[in-house]
């Protein structure tokens, strides 16, 4: 989901170009009016949510994944691997 931080980030064409440049091959919801941002109570750019196959939010990360040496990307990758291997449960980690 893309919620623009400023007016300059509202261009869907620029978002498509950046997604193509980064080779992102998944759908990206454009939340220009911040409806989802507000509904989720989000307040930090970026926010990463991992949602399981049943639609439950299982893990989240607020802020840059690599902020000041943080290993957020690896942590989230481990969470993804756990979810992919967890076929018996939809509610616990």
Owning domain of residue 86: 44-93
Cα separation of 93 and 71, whole Å? Answer: 19
Examine the domain organization and report whether 17 and 49 are in the same domain: no
Can you give the pLDDT at residue 93? 45
pTM above 0.85, yes or no: no
Q: Is the dihedral of CA 32, 38, 39, 44 positive or negative?
A: positive
Examine the domain organization and report whether 12 and 32 are in the same domain: yes
**Per-residue pLDDT tens digits for 14-72:** 999 999 999 998 889 999 999 999 998 998 988 888 888 898 999 988 988 888 888 98
Can you give the pLDDT at residue 66? 87
Examine the domain organization and report whether 70 and 39 are in the same domain: no
Examine the domain organization and report whether 53 and 10 are in the same domain: no
Can you give the pLDDT at residue 65? 87
The total of structural domains in the chain comes to 2
Can you give the pLDDT at residue 53? 86
Greater confidence, 65 or 13? 13
Identify the residue whose tokens are 């170009």: 17
Examine the domain organization and report whether 24 and 48 are in the same domain: no
């Amino acid at each position: 989901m893309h919620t623009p931080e400023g007016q300059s980030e509202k261009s869907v064409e620029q978002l498509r170009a950046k997604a193509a440049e980064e080779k992102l091959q998944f759908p990206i919801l454009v939340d220009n009016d911040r409806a989802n941002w507000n509904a989720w109570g989000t307040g930090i750019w970026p926010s990463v949510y991992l949602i399981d196959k049943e639609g439950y939010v299982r893990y989240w990360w607020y802020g840059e994944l690599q902020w000041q040496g943080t290993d957020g990307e690896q942590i989230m990758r481990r969470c993804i691997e756990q979810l992919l291997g967890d076929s018996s449960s939809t509610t616990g980690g």
